[in-house]
């Protein structure tokens, strides 16, 4: 029976200790319901001390024997105290549910910030791993290094990985699948997508029930996992009608969740208004959204929609902090839909940063990570150098000099851009290409 009385906190004892970490499994639930968590009996009622536990301690003899050996034969001989270590360990209960002792770098995980992803119950890292560049949309890369980079990212506390068939027509999923092999399944969340597929316009999008079911099955095979934590409908604005998403794609994903092949449902897209409309009309629970380049130095459209997403307890994933390479020292790819004015301004801003001894990409990523209403910031990563740089940005503040530089960029460059987005441009190009093929 559900309580009608508001429960503000819970107290549990001996469930986040050196011998039992059951509490971690339930923290996402308590956070989702804004219930305070009190952790009692960090030394497990004297089990984890140099003293004998009281006679009434309900632990079995094997547990008691192991704890005595740990206290007497190991800690004492090493000049330490088991109780001290046990109390310290229990005070680290802010570790995410994905933490796996013996696999993760504890200090790195403790340095990473984690936030709830809407109503999913998932606690996701502030920085998440974007698999888009592993599909070669931004140039080639060394696969062996990419695989090791993914593994190191997870060890260092990045627990959310995003991919999709569209990124290299399965290549990103395959590479990530190779990296995940041998990593404890508990250690990460994996998200993939349905709906966007091939490079040729006629087969680029398919939101049908059959294709959705087929692609999720194949994605699981490429990723070498039994289920994904989040299954997303990719770029819903390209559907011939939003009704197809609402009546076909989302209901099929709901069936896949029921079958155990996925746990949560999300939608992605560039125009945030379409994401809002879909959530408002759908009878299927949408638990998170992913939008890209909409909270950056040149476009903060996402802020307008945050109250709506918060009201519906929808997790927000902010992707492409560097606006698909616009806000870097590199030239954006040829397919980039921004107009020439935006590209020119971004090039000038990058040069200004260089001359000032800084890096535009670093400032852009830091800026995008300052919104606490965003659960995670999805950054495309290909190699160890990029991983190290992005973790540094996620865990540290920028200098006063860089803050001033950021202010100058806003005033002297980006404030001059009128219409800093390209909504509708890609859809028009897609429709024009389809019309041309029909002639």
What residues are annotated to the active site? 167
Task: Report the run of H or E that residue 149 belongs to, with start and end.
Answer: helix 143-155
- How far apart CA 230 and CA 207 sit, in angstroms, is 17
Question: Beta 114-116 vs 228-233: how paired, if at all?
Answer: unpaired
**What is the token pair recorded at 335?**
């397919």
Cβ burial, residue 78 (10 Å; 0-12/13-18/19+): exposed
> Which residues have a Cβ under 8 Å from the Cβ of 324 and sit 6 or more positions away?
138, 292, 293, 332, 333, 336
In the three-class reduction of DSSP (H, G, I as helix; E, B as strand; rest coil), residue 98 is classed as coil
CB atoms within 10 A of CB 29: 10
DSSP SS3 for 118? helix
Phi-psi region of 357 (alpha: psi -120 to 50; beta: other; left: phi over 0): left
How many whole angstroms separate alpha carbon 184 and alpha carbon 188? 8
Helices 171-180 and 143-155, axial angle in degrees (round to 10)? 50
At residue 179, the 3 state secondary structure works out as helix
Question: For residue 144, which phi and psi values (nearest 5 degrees)?
Answer: -60, -40
Question: Which helix (H) or strand (E) is 36 found in, with range?
Answer: strand 36-40
């Amino acid at each position: 029976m559900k309580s009608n009385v508001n429960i503000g906190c819970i107290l549990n004892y001996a469930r986040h200790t050196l011998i039992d970490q059951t509490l971690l499994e339930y923290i996402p639930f308590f956070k989702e319901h804004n219930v305070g968590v009190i952790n009692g009996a960090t030394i497990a009622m004297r089990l984890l001390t140099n003293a004998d536990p009281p006679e009434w301690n309900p632990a079995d003899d094997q547990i008691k024997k192991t704890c005595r050996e740990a206290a007497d034969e190991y800690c004492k001989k090493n000049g330490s105290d088991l109780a001290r270590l046990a109390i310290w360990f229990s005070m680290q209960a802010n570790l995410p549910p994905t933490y796996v002792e013996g696999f993760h770098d504890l200090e790195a995980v403790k340095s990473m910030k984690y936030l709830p992803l809407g109503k999913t119950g998932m606690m996701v890292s502030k920085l998440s791993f974007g698999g888009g560049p592993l599909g070669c949309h931004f140039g080639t890369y060394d696969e062996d290094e990419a695989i090791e980079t993914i593994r190191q990212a997870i060890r260092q506390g990045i627990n959310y990985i995003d991919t999709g068939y569209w990124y290299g027509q399965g290549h990103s999923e395959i590479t990530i699948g190779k990296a995940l092999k041998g990593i404890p399944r508990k250690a990460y969340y994996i998200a993939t997508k349905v709906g966007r597929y091939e490079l040729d316009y006629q087969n680029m999008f398919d939101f049908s029930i059959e294709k959705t079911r087929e692609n999720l099955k194949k994605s699981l095979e490429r990723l070498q996992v039994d289920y994904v934590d989040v299954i997303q409908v990719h770029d819903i604005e390209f559907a011939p009608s939003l009704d197809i998403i609402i009546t076909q794609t989302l209901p099929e994903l709901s069936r896949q969740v029921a079958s155990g092949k996925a746990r949560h449902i999300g939608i992605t897209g560039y125009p945030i208004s379409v994401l809002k409309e879909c959530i408002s009309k759908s009878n299927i629970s949408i638990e998170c959204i992913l939008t890209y380049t909409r909270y950056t130095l040149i476009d903060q459209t996402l802020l307008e929609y945050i109250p709506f997403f918060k009201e519906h307890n929808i997790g927000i994933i902010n992707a492409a902090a560097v606006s698909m390479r616009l806000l870097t020292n590199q030239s954006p790819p040829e397919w980039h839909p921004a107009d020439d004015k935006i590209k020119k301004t971004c090039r000038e801003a990058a040069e200004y940063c260089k001359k000032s001894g800084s890096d535009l990409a670093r400032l852009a990523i830091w800026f995008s990570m300052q919104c606490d209403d965003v659960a995670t910031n999805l950054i495309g990563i290909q190699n160890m150098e990029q991983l190290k740089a992005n973790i540094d940005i996620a865990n540290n503040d920028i200098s006063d000099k860089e803050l001033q530089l950021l202010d100058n960029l806003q005033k002297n460059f980006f404030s001059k851009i009128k219409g800093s987005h390209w909504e509708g441009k890609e859809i028009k190009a897609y429709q024009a290409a389809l019309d041309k093929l029909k002639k």
